[in-house]
Structure 1
């Protein structure tokens, strides 16, 4: 017992010494005078420490003594080390941390652009899956973009009409290379379709203004498409519908470092034309075929070589009642051919990322206009055109710390030939461009993009220089704001050029944006102003209605004296959280624009611009039913229309007015029977889509007779259109592609 008492006494003395030698270290951690929680505080090379609470306070005890180092560390903040001396007294050590600046946490500039891709920092708004499941988009990228703010509803011709700009003022790129003739050949009053399959691309960036200096020759906007890298596995797909049949084979090598593929399709609207009451009297229903091929190689360093090539042909003819008393009917027929090749190479060499590529486009368009009397052709005008376009681009990019610098050059060569009756026109132009820009990260809350581009046109024999700058600032955790300004130049369309005594058309963009991203919700507000200068002005050599079928091919007298402006506000709201398993978005655009261009006698609101546009898109997938339901609705205030004639070289506004408001409700259903089946080696989707389910009789404009006393409405080919199809894939389970996994 005496021994036990001695041991207990000794332990008590030792414990008293330890307790007496412990001291407390406490303090408060702040950032810009605001308390920081969850910051780790430790004595360097020891296990002693604590974590700051919601008020930034921390406290811990230690038995260490002498000179020590107190370390403060936390995500998104620079580590701080404070030397201290422990001499038996409690210490109070406050710390003020600094934000850790890095590319991942830095605010991203988004003014004027919407990005959707598999990149971590992308604002995923329109992925390929979004496009396929948007009712009314018919699986076309350009149609799906019509449900974003800033894009006008223009149904009578193809193209993306953005913020008061014409369809020709938007350029489309694939893997950095220009796509000429993105849409199929068409006749006046009927829009061409996308040539490219949406499944070719893994993402896109749609810029409605203020885009990067890497891209040029677009007054309004650019659409940048990024193709897929490698398929998941070898697969065979086919699709069948009353409109088309298609097949696609993709082969992936065993090492999953390379692939090749071929695809083909045939389309014919004839069967649907017999089932539905079409507004358009087709002499020959639109039909066509296309073939494409690709290969993709992943290099040892992780780079990619990609090739895509396609050929297609389409034809149609349209008859309409003649507005002139000397004829019964008019007929226009089309035969079109197109070829496209795109090759790109992306590789990292040391500190430099190299992107080099090129594209080639061949397009042939044969149009025949005829006037008929008692089924006999009285007048006939043939218009034949052939175009060759070559695009080449090199972009070199390097990281300098956390900032990025890129520069390069681009060449665009155009060679066009057109025969219009006895009139023949040859147009050749080489546009040489150089550009440079840098992405600067000042803090995690402030970044900038500064760049410039210069171009020379051999046809115009002129240079341009276009500076561009954008800033982004994080207001709070979820709120950011961006500002952008830039000059943008574009050659006049070649059909209006009668000599080389012209200059570049110019547009100056000013954009302000506020955006909130949080918890499956995205809110964007943008205000913009565009000023146009040196737009093309024309007057025809004969007295013709501005909307006569031959107008776009009439010989013009033209100059560079036009101008105009566009201003407006846009709202975008997308919500994937509020309602269970429902993804929806709402957009609103207000546009105020006037232009003095083409044959306008004075400044007028463009006939393709609606003041107010509202879009609503909603999607829901019911797992138990293995079915997705999709809805979209569009309302657009009636666009202006004009009847303009040229009399002795003077343009005269003869008739004008406002079209009735545009509206359309679209609905689609996707049934996926393979959902929920394990180890499925095939994938099937049944699709039912109804465009303009309410049958609204929308009008796109009017054609006038030569005397202006008679007119006919330009309508869509059919008021309500029903599509039914089945798509089957063998070799890979694509179930997840059919379900919006963002829900």
Structure 2
């Protein structure tokens, strides 16, 4: 009886309390009122929203201790404990901005993110394989982006007045040694890796994170696919070879294995060549990629790539009517790596891994028989801690082991180089608010061979405008050891240096991206030398120089239906004293004006994508010994119009046709001159050209799977 009485008295007391009036206003940290805040009592339906002036008012019949919630997009949720007793209660909470992927400013100075859908997606794997001029090559596609220069007789990545050796390539954060295939002089090379392997990329044209080092100009970080969509087999039949890839996918693990073979001999027998081939380029490669989920919040990846190839080419000698010198190139390459990432407790996360590159070249040139081997072993561990939504720190340690050997078998002589680098780095991000971020970093290292210790500071900041555009600034110092071919002659050589200043404006809205960037890069301690590639002499580090200019980039997926296009312009003013030059010169690989246009249009009625790309620059400098001075002459401008057509006759079958330099423009990248003047006192010359006026590619790609609609585009 007492229990029933107690319950009745309790309900009577509650009813006598009556309704409680809750009112007030909501402001941010700057004192500005916030409209549209969702205000409610937790675990109930009682609630309201703030008006245009940030004011709110609501009544509730609830009593006792309750939790009052305040929620608004872009702000951290706030909870207030209140006692509802039938009175009028007034609250004026101040809400803090929430820092998240949707609202936070991001640093874009020098960087082009290609994997995060929430930011500016510049190039994904499908972009790479469908850029007509790229012919499926990763670097070929990136040469259509701002800051890069097309050097057709080389094929590697040249960024903002920097040599190709100044760009470092990483896969899942691990260093890739000898990322490009070995080739003969003035025969363009390609990257060794299939773009289908990667889900996205991060291309930095300067001012990059303290996590990366040993690169003066640029870093290209490629991220492999986490998990494929399904088990499938992919058959590739091409005008230059073929291959097969098999993927087995389970819920928590997957493995992909592929094998490919190419031989340009049949193709070159049909298409006229500018080069005198004794044996057309040929080769094979095989790779295995495995992924395994690790617990609830981790992943482990392993990747092995091995390949072998070669070529023989007669290279004409200026002033000689004979066939020239026979160059025989044989290459064997292996790259292996394991990487992991793990989300820990208390806002800790970890990632890292180990990679190994082994490149062996056998070169025969006239009387020189050379075998060289380049090995790179890289280990890294990184820890990240988020102390709040505003402040985080990334700290890591790295170990690099370099081994380089040259064996002159024709002379029975050998020389070698061994070096070990220990590196530490730390970087902190501080969000002042969702519109302003500061990033500071330090990277330190020590070389056992050079007996040098260095410390490189890095600084970045960015501000996001209310109009959604943002302004970024980056500055820093970057260090890189000279190439092994020079260090092996002078093992006391130390780091060359580059100081970067970058100012960037970036806007990504409604499927349109605009990017404008100005830069200044100062070089110090560049290597200079005399002699030839097999016997450098008088190697010093008294070179210096600069590169300055600006880039413009615009990409649009919305204006024209079913059409994606981007246009790029870069201006580079570069002068440097380096290599064999005794004064500042404009390098032959640094054109002042560079432009590109890429257009891709999907024709649904024809089940086809039609693509076009156009690249242009104002020519390449070179030294003409018939006139005084260095780098005293210049070729005419480079132009290349490439077209492609991709056709899907069936969902699992793709036909792809591409042709470079459709107009057959006679592009010249410089000249080779005779070592001695002829009877009339002139040095005779031969132009440096591509191996053929055009390159035609035809491929058939068939996917075999339970899902008859699956094709190779699904994983891009």
- Give 1:311 shift: 1.7
Which of 402, 422, 425 pairs up with 1:414?
Answer: 402
- Give 1:170 shift: 0.5
Q: Map 1:327-726 to 2 at 5 A.
A: 328-351=323-346, 352-370=348-366, 380-402=367-389, 403-420=391-408, 422=411, 424-497=414-487, 498-540=489-531, 551-643=532-624, 653=629, 656-675=632-651, 683-707=652-676, 709-726=683-700
- Give 1:155 shift: 1.3
Contact kept in structure 1, 2:624 and 2:633, CA below 8 Å: no
Contact kept in structure 2, 1:212 and 1:468, CA below 8 Å: yes
Question: Given the two structures, how large is their TM-score scaled by the length of structure 1?
Answer: 0.86
Aligned to 2:5: none
Contact kept in structure 2, 1:291 and 1:312, CA below 8 Å: yes
Partner Cα separation in structure 2 for residue 398 and residue 80 of structure 1: 24
1:113-162 CA distance string (max 9 Å, x none): 11112x45442110111111111111111111101100111111132111
Larger mean CA deviation between 463-472 and 619-628 belongs to: 619-628
- Give 1:509 shift: 0.8
- Give 1:355 shift: 1.9
Contact kept in structure 2, 1:356 and 1:393, CA below 8 Å: yes
CA 1:36–1:533: 2 relative to 1, 3 Å: same
1:474-523 CA distance string (max 9 Å, x none): 12241111111111100011212322332210001111111111111111
Which of 731, 734, 741 pairs up with 2:705?
Answer: 731
- How many matched pairs? 689
Partner Cα separation in structure 2 for residue 585 and residue 326 of structure 1: 46
Structure 2 unaligned regions, length at least 5 = 1-18, 678-682
Partner Cα separation in structure 1 for residue 441 and residue 171 of structure 2: 22
Q: Map 1:138-157 to 2 at 5 A.
A: 138-157=135-154
1:295-326 CA distance string (max 9 Å, x none): 22212233222111122111111123322459
Partner Cα separation in structure 2 for residue 288 and residue 609 of structure 1: 31
Contact kept in structure 2, 1:233 and 1:732, CA below 8 Å: no
Larger mean CA deviation between 729-738 and 419-428 belongs to: 729-738
Contact kept in structure 1, 2:586 and 2:631, CA below 8 Å: no
Larger mean CA deviation between 652-661 and 710-719 belongs to: 652-661
Partner Cα separation in structure 2 for residue 59 and residue 354 of structure 1: 44
- Give 1:732 shift: 5.8
Aligned to 2:204: 207
CA 1:620–1:36: 2 relative to 1, 3 Å: farther
Partner Cα separation in structure 1 for residue 484 and residue 20 of structure 2: 85
Partner Cα separation in structure 1 for residue 709 and residue 638 of structure 2: 36
Aligned to 2:169: 172
- The 3-state SS of whatever aligns with 2:266 is helix
Partner Cα separation in structure 1 for residue 107 and residue 648 of structure 2: 38
CA 1:390–1:652: 2 relative to 1, 3 Å: farther
CA 1:363–1:101: 2 relative to 1, 3 Å: closer
- Give 1:294 shift: 2.6
Partner Cα separation in structure 2 for residue 282 and residue 475 of structure 1: 57
CA 1:228–1:73: 2 relative to 1, 3 Å: closer
CA 1:28–1:382: 2 relative to 1, 3 Å: closer
- Give 1:631 shift: 1.1
- The 3-state SS of whatever aligns with 2:155 is coil
Partner Cα separation in structure 2 for residue 443 and residue 142 of structure 1: 37
CA 1:257–1:99: 2 relative to 1, 3 Å: closer
- The 3-state SS of whatever aligns with 2:555 is strand
- Give 1:674 shift: 3.0
- Give 1:84 shift: 11
Q: Map 1:40-439 to 2 at 5 A.
A: 40-41=38-39, 50-52=48-50, 55-56=52-53, 62=59, 72-79=70-77, 97-102=95-100, 104-117=102-115, 119-253=116-250, 256-325=251-320, 328-351=323-346, 352-370=348-366, 380-402=367-389, 403-420=391-408, 422=411, 424-439=414-429
Partner Cα separation in structure 2 for residue 322 and residue 110 of structure 1: 47
Contact kept in structure 2, 1:183 and 1:192, CA below 8 Å: yes
1:178-213 CA distance string (max 9 Å, x none): 111111110100121111111111111111111111
- The 3-state SS of whatever aligns with 2:202 is strand
- Give 1:528 shift: 0.8
Partner Cα separation in structure 1 for residue 47 and residue 266 of structure 2: 77
Partner Cα separation in structure 2 for residue 297 and residue 69 of structure 1: 43
- Give 1:419 shift: 3.1
Contact kept in structure 1, 2:621 and 2:631, CA below 8 Å: no
- Give 1:289 shift: 1.0
- Give 1:341 shift: 1.1
- Give 1:167 shift: 0.5
- Give 1:230 shift: 2.4
CA 1:401–1:486: 2 relative to 1, 3 Å: same
- Give 1:741 shift: 12
Partner Cα separation in structure 2 for residue 361 and residue 27 of structure 1: 62
Partner Cα separation in structure 2 for residue 457 and residue 88 of structure 1: 74
1:396-419 CA distance string (max 9 Å, x none): 222222232222211111211113
CA 1:652–1:428: 2 relative to 1, 3 Å: farther
Question: Given the two structures, how large is their TM-score scaled by the length of structure 2?
Answer: 0.89
**RMSD value, Cα:** 3.2
- The 3-state SS of whatever aligns with 1:565 is strand
- Give 1:669 shift: 0.8
Structure 1 unaligned regions, length at least 5 = 1-20, 371-379, 541-550, 646-650, 676-682
Partner Cα separation in structure 2 for residue 297 and residue 171 of structure 1: 27
